[in-house]
Amino acid sequence: MSTSQWPLWEVFIRSKQGLNHKHVGSLRAPDATLALENARDVYTRRSEGISIWVVESAHIHATDIDEAASFFEPSDTKIYRHPTFYEVPDGVKHM
């Protein structure tokens, strides 16, 4: 039986308390338990993590790269969402 029949898993690692889990790469494994053990051996040989998530790649839904421009357009046009949009007199402090 070939390894290509094993599903692909995406690996996310929390490097320390207070930080998000971050995508680090992928691997193949027959199930979640082995995916976690393999992820530990492949991606955390130097204490890079205190917590690992593995997610089957097939379960990840992503935005369409070709539609990215129109998909994200609504936020690009709203410059008044940024503090720099507003003028405040010179003497005003702590704002």
Binding site for another protein (CB under 8 A): 1-6, 8, 24-31, 33-34, 41-43, 45-46, 62, 65-66
In angstroms, give the least distance from the CB of 6 to another protein: 8
CA distance 39 to 24: 10
In angstroms, give the least distance from the CB of 66 to another protein: 7
User: Pick from 21, 18, 15, 13: which is nearest to 38 by CA?
Assistant: 13
Q: CA torsion 40→43→47→52, rounded to 10°?
A: -60
Pick the closer one to another protein by CB: 30 or 51. Answer: 30
In angstroms, give the least distance from the CB of 7 to another protein: 10
Structure-block tokens of residue 30: 């027959």
